[in-house]
Structure 1
């Protein structure tokens, strides 16, 4: 099988980074708003939540109709909107206008995030592998963004971190021209490559991604308090997260190499079990050594898991509509995680958080397994399905 076009992969990766930068850098954005505009935790969280909500709503809204338009044109319009909104946010001193600009930025970023997933699903022969490349790039980019972002936030508050986001967006914007200027009707993937799945499978995949990301984000959002419970200070936790991002390359690399060689069921079971063990270790033990190992393992598992979840969505629809919707599911789960974790910790403590994360992960795994099984059945050739049915009938007789 020929390799996927490099230009598509590079252009889609640029759209992925621009679209996902704000969720990745949200801790610095919140801290910068608190320092630069003297906003409370509630108001700062409100501003970031507006942007994340705009991201998710835009990705959800655009997903069904995205294949009808030129991916390149949608990307260019979206990046212009994001850049204008970033500039307005940097110089805004009013909470109301800041909320408006962040919502506009979220709309542009959400469109780019959806494009990055949809163009891969519709144009690449092996979406799972390309989604693995995304995670490799994220692991590398995150180290640089965390380091520079912390320094700029400390020096210039919210204007520093927003300027960094705008600068990276501006640098990557020309690469979006590598995205194809056509609709998702190209013949890069034939009908034999995948079955056209029913909407129910798409809904179950959407729910599985939301649930898994909710549990993952719940642990990530409280990684600092968990570290303090284990006896580490905030600076030490920052170092642990930076090291974890570097080692997280291993997870992305394994996902890219292994790909779907063993199918999707085994890798999804593997990272689900791994995340359950990580959640139990972080929430139930207070050892610094256990914390460091568990946090590093959680990042490795995260980078390993995302390509398979996005790849499962890409397998549902040859036009990439469910792949684009998967981006919305990711963002919704990412936004819901801290809310769920905070509520659970307030009522049942960290032991309760461990139990909830285990239950949510089990539910996500169950939904994913059902989708995989039904896809395997619907994707079988008619003659094979007939043979299977006849064997079942014969055995019953």
Structure 2
């Protein structure tokens, strides 16, 4: 009798822990500014350093998780999160806080790399553990992870304002989350010896080079604009809309819930609308939401802008990911576009802080909105230049799977890989 396939909760927990710091970025940056002798620009720079540190860990480890062992890497990442964020929460000297936040960012990126790699591997077949067989649906597990981090971040946005002032509260919450997730790592695999080797036959340079470069450049700017606002959204609510920290936290909690609805809606729509309309029209709608949120002077305007923006953002992002995957069946453009997006994400908080400090929040919003509208044009053109999902790039690569014990013998028949969509 086959063992029932269950949701891999250790991976969901790792996903939640790894993404918690970026989700809490507005309150982390806002409390650094309020609790330490830092200017808003300096606090935004620390937020950017956290994200850049996290992105660097992901770049370095994404292709090494299986060789080094998911369990070992996950525990190392959680330990860095606990020591880094926990140390930054206890510290009151700015250099110590910066070092702690960067160490914590490395931990977050390590944990995220493990979670993302293992979730993607589920699509190759069921993962067996001592307690049953894990589900083979990566999308289902990713959705569970998004639900987990959004729910936890929303709860913290509602709770942290009632725990008193200081930069230590949100950082301590992230550190304690890492500690809580640690016991679940026992169900992760150690370093593995692959049972199959893949003889990959390269078929020339990157395909669709012009489209790929345009998409990568656009996504860098696209992510930069999103996170420029997200990094200073807390200060907009507090300083310009004159809301309490509790009210701002409640808006963020509802906005994160709207993001979950966006993820669900994007999955339900699938390819029905094509790619050009969701990518181009959605980016234009995001630009309007950013300008509205940045100009908010009351609760209604601030909440409308933030909630609508967070609802549309994941919809557009899901279609852009599919667009990048369609450019190359081997996934090379998907990796490059994702890397460019991560760089934009990391630079966002500092950019938002510099723009808002120099010109004010409303002008910052207009600048970001105009930039997004300009980016929407080439994004739409790239989307129009690609065929519907599942119809392009199927001949980009051939992979021959060879058992290790017969690696020197005659290889099996080649199997074509269709691009992800």
TM range (shorter): 0.7 to 0.9
More strand by share: 2
**1:197: Cα distance to partner?**
9.9
Q: Structure 1 stretch 10-19 or stretch 61-70: which is displaced more?
A: 61-70
Equivalent residue for 2:348? 337
* Cα separation, 1, equivalents of 2:331 and 2:141: 14
CA displacement 1:243-278 (0-9 Å, x = unmatched)? 323333321222344455766566445533432442
Pairing of 1:210-221 with structure 2 (within 5 A): 210-221=220-231
Equivalent residue for 1:359? 374
Equivalent residue for 2:394? 379
Equivalent residue for 2:256? 245
**1:341: Cα distance to partner?**
4.1
CA displacement 1:98-130 (0-9 Å, x = unmatched)? 333322221121112222222223322654554
Give the SS at the match of 1:244.
helix
Judged with a 3 Å threshold, the aligned counterparts in structure 2 of structure 1 residues 202 and 6 are, in CA distance, closer, same or farther, namely farther
Judged with a 3 Å threshold, the aligned counterparts in structure 2 of structure 1 residues 278 and 103 are, in CA distance, closer, same or farther, namely closer
Equivalent residue for 1:111? 110
**1:44: Cα distance to partner?**
3.3
* Cα separation, 2, equivalents of 1:62 and 1:302: 27
* Cα separation, 2, equivalents of 1:325 and 1:48: 23
CA displacement 1:281-314 (0-9 Å, x = unmatched)? 4467978655533322111112434444456667
* Cα separation, 2, equivalents of 1:198 and 1:353: 31
CA displacement 1:167-215 (0-9 Å, x = unmatched)? 111112233444444669689xxx9xxx999485876665454333222
Q: Is the 8 A contact 2:221 2:344 kept in 1?
A: yes
TM-score (norm 1): 0.73
Equivalent residue for 2:130? none
Equivalent residue for 2:10? 11
* Cα separation, 1, equivalents of 2:61 and 2:229: 30
* Cα separation, 1, equivalents of 2:85 and 2:235: 31
* Cα separation, 2, equivalents of 1:70 and 1:372: 38
* Cα separation, 1, equivalents of 2:44 and 2:296: 29
Q: Structure 1 stretch 326-335 or stretch 47-56: which is displaced more?
A: 326-335
TM-score (norm 2): 0.70
Equivalent residue for 1:159? 168
* Cα separation, 1, equivalents of 2:339 and 2:249: 28
* RMSD of equivalent CA atoms: 4.3
* Cα separation, 2, equivalents of 1:209 and 1:354: 15
Q: Is the 8 A contact 2:251 2:303 kept in 1?
A: yes
Pairing of 1:270-309 with structure 2 (within 5 A): 271-279=282-290, 281-282=292-293, 289=300, 291-309=302-320
Give the SS at the match of 1:377.
coil
Q: Is the 8 A contact 2:12 2:145 kept in 1?
A: yes
Q: Is the 8 A contact 2:158 2:250 kept in 1?
A: no
Q: Is the 8 A contact 2:19 2:149 kept in 1?
A: no
Q: Is the 8 A contact 2:280 2:380 kept in 1?
A: yes
* Cα separation, 1, equivalents of 2:154 and 2:248: 14
Does 2:266 correspond to 1:255? yes
Equivalent residue for 1:136? 147
Q: Is the 8 A contact 2:14 2:112 kept in 1?
A: yes
Specify which of 172, 184, 189 is matched with residue 175 of structure 1.
Answer: 184
Unaligned runs of 5+ in 2: 124-135, 398-421
Unaligned runs of 5+ in 1: 383-397
* Cα separation, 1, equivalents of 2:239 and 2:42: 27
**1:144: Cα distance to partner?**
0.5
**1:331: Cα distance to partner?**
3.9
* Cα separation, 2, equivalents of 1:257 and 1:88: 43
Pairing of 1:178-217 with structure 2 (within 5 A): 178-181=187-190, 198=206, 206-217=216-227
* Cα separation, 1, equivalents of 2:31 and 2:314: 27
**1:227: Cα distance to partner?**
5.7
Does 2:98 correspond to 1:89? no
Q: Is the 8 A contact 1:52 1:106 kept in 2?
A: yes
More helix by share: 1
